[in-house]
Chain A
């Protein structure tokens, strides 16, 4: 981790040279002679140079909880991609059958044949509890929950990332237009005023209701208005770049616009966009669960965490089957909490006010 060492080489050199300087021994007479004057020595005494990104990374790294959840999320992401390659390969949508001992419905005893052996029949492998054959058990129609969970996580994360990316891309593009093209200002401002007033979930509900349910619909429904907030933010930044005193001063001193953008606008923008994306992902997953609950979700043949939670909810009154609810709930909560904490920790770390200590 030497890369992140706070004392950069420059300050290291400085402190060493200072130490060398003072270790020199002088004789009594020499002590009161003029020292050689180095006009640059005074400049070297200054404070160590400050790098925004280094300080941001440092502040983030210091947040142990956030680092832990970052590892969790990276591991999860990696695993959702690796999981299909594991030797345990079952299709998430395949319905499995297995040999099962027939039970007498009334006595709850195995039915025996003439020889006294239990009668074994091949039947739907439904509602099988987690075990060596089905690691997370099976669901109500005999699908393998392990593969369903990971494929669901993959799909839910895809929805989340897609929404976050569209949000960021469209938001930046429109925001820059909004800020730079003055003719569009009125149009965008009115658009924002209208749509900012409507709850996003309501928009998502209406759109999913009207269009045919599916991943595309869901992503579309969630993106439809969310980019407006990002765009407005970007627009405000652009206006600040245009008009704020320190940027004006910077421009007066001949700083090229490119440099103003990379030094003054970009750090702030990138940090806020990253945070928004980190928070948009759990929000999208959350919305997905909710839309699924009011039966506007993705069709069942596409496993998502929302679908899995909803399926689990339906059987939750049966104590033996609660694993079908809890496994997806735990995975989902872990993912959303991780993103939430990372997003907030990054926002704190990116705030120069927190670079002090």
Chain B
């Protein structure tokens, strides 16, 4: 197990290295106007000096080597637009806890709402009118069919009028936290509900369920002890996806509600062409998604005794 995790981590580092190198090289291809506030008024010399200060005049391989040297020593460079001269890691470190906090809260809500909803829908498929299933499906379809960008906007628009809620986020007013977290959790809630329902319906047609029925286990106990547990295993696979969903959702939600977090920061950095900051943020986002995948695989192995990690290389 430990050996497997070690191997996977090593592999993830390689992946990260490749991706960041590609991103780094691509970012160097951007027009140089973007690096300066008042490009038109600058002389050729000023531009050259400016570029030199940013370390952009070196040959590309040297720049790349410097970048990785910096990463290894924990130096990702300084911001030159967003907060000039401040270490990007310092900027991010100040914002990351809030983003993680909101993201985690959203994930918890998704699980707390999505799983029971999925169970309810699966149960309802056995009733005459399947009302619960139909209502749940409408919810899932609306959330998955309508672009997140749209329903985030509509939620902000309509629900911010409720008492306590607001169009914007204030650290010291807990009620203003509700809307962004709720918005962020909706996508995953629908996702979990949909897949849990599907897996539970699939599982309940399996032979071992028939055997359990034949030995006289009541339906409620079958669905609790046998079906749910088995349906949950493949669902664990979706944890990485839901982490990615939350990350990407946070980009939009954070900037929509002016939350001083990491997601809003990436949007700001992109709009201001603050390349060092973009670089650092992409690195962190990629690392989180890769870690999410690893955690998903490990959880799966923990839940299913049939899966032994390490036997199959990168078994996903």
| A residues lining the B interface (CB < 8 Å) | 193-194, 197-199, 201-202, 205-207, 209-210, 282, 285-286, 289-290, 293-296, 309, 313, 316, 325, 329, 332-333, 336-337, 339-341, 344
Bound Cα distance from A295 to B146, whole angstroms: 21
Q: A194-B19, A205-B270 are in contact. Are A286 and B26 (CB under 8 A)?
A: no
Contact A295 B145, beta carbon cutoff 8 Å: no
Contact B149 A286, beta carbon cutoff 8 Å: yes
Q: A209-B278, A337-B142 are in contact. Are A199 and B244 (CB under 8 A)?
A: yes
Contact B149 A290, beta carbon cutoff 8 Å: yes
Q: A199-B289, A337-B142 are in contact. Are A209 and B314 (CB under 8 A)?
A: no
Q: A199-B285, A199-B289, A295-B271 are in contact. Are A329 and B248 (CB under 8 A)?
A: no
Contact B26 A206, beta carbon cutoff 8 Å: yes
Query: What's the minimum C-beta distance from B18 to chain A, rounded to whole angstroms?
Result: 5
Contacts of A344 in B (CB 8 A): 141
Contacts of A337 in B (CB 8 A): 141-142, 145-146
Contacts of B150 in A (CB 8 A): 289, 309, 329, 332-333
Contact A198 B142, beta carbon cutoff 8 Å: no
Contacts of A290 in B (CB 8 A): 147-149, 251-252
Contact B286 A202, beta carbon cutoff 8 Å: yes
Q: Mark B149-175, 1 if CB is under 8 A from A, else 0.
A: 110011001000000000000000000
Contact A333 B146, beta carbon cutoff 8 Å: yes
The 8 closest A-B pairs by CB, nearest first: A337-B145, A286-B147, A340-B145, A289-B149, A199-B244, A201-B248, A333-B146, A294-B267
Bound Cα distance from A198 to B267, whole angstroms: 18
Contacts of B153 in A (CB 8 A): 309, 313, 316, 325, 329
Contact B145 A316, beta carbon cutoff 8 Å: no
Q: How many of chain B's residues touch chain A, expressed as a range?
A: 35 or more
B53 at the binding interface (Cβ < 8 Å)? no
Binding site secondary structure of chain A: helix
Closest to B14 in A: A194
Closest to B23 in A: A206
B290 at the binding interface (Cβ < 8 Å)? yes
B29 at the binding interface (Cβ < 8 Å)? yes
Q: Which of A210, A295, A316, A329 contacts B27 (CB 8 A)?
A: A210
Closest to A279 in B: B144
B255 at the binding interface (Cβ < 8 Å)? yes
Contact B147 A210, beta carbon cutoff 8 Å: no
Q: A210-B27, A309-B150, A337-B142 are in contact. Are A197 and B290 (CB under 8 A)?
A: yes
Contact B15 A193, beta carbon cutoff 8 Å: yes
Contacts of B149 in A (CB 8 A): 286, 289-290, 293, 309
Q: Which of B147, B270, B285 contacts A209 (CB 8 A)?
A: B270
24 contacts between A and B (CB under 8 A): A194-B19, A197-B19, A199-B247, A199-B248, A199-B289, A201-B251, A205-B266, A206-B27, A209-B278, A210-B27, A210-B29, A289-B149, A289-B150, A290-B252, A293-B149, A294-B252, A309-B149, A313-B153, A316-B153, A333-B150, A336-B145, A337-B141, A339-B145, A340-B141
Closest to B154 in A: A329
Contact A194 B15, beta carbon cutoff 8 Å: yes
Bound Cα distance from A202 to B22, whole angstroms: 13
Q: Which of A202, A295, A340 contacts B282 (CB 8 A)?
A: A202
Contacts of B270 in A (CB 8 A): 205, 209, 294-296
Contacts of B285 in A (CB 8 A): 199, 202
Contacts of A209 in B (CB 8 A): 30, 270, 278
Q: Which of B144, B247, B286 contacts A197 (CB 8 A)?
A: B286
Bound Cα distance from A316 to B152, whole angstroms: 14
Closest to B167 in A: A317
Query: What's the minimum C-beta distance from A190 to chain B, rounded to whole angstroms?
Result: 9
Contact B148 A286, beta carbon cutoff 8 Å: yes
Contacts of A197 in B (CB 8 A): 12, 15, 19, 286, 289-290, 293
Query: What's the minimum C-beta distance from A198 to chain B, rounded to whole angstroms?
Result: 6
Contacts of A193 in B (CB 8 A): 11, 15, 314
Residues of B233-263 at the interface with A, using a CB-CB cut-off of 8 Å, are 244, 247-248, 251-252, 255
Bound Cα distance from A294 to B142, whole angstroms: 24
Contacts of A309 in B (CB 8 A): 149-150, 153
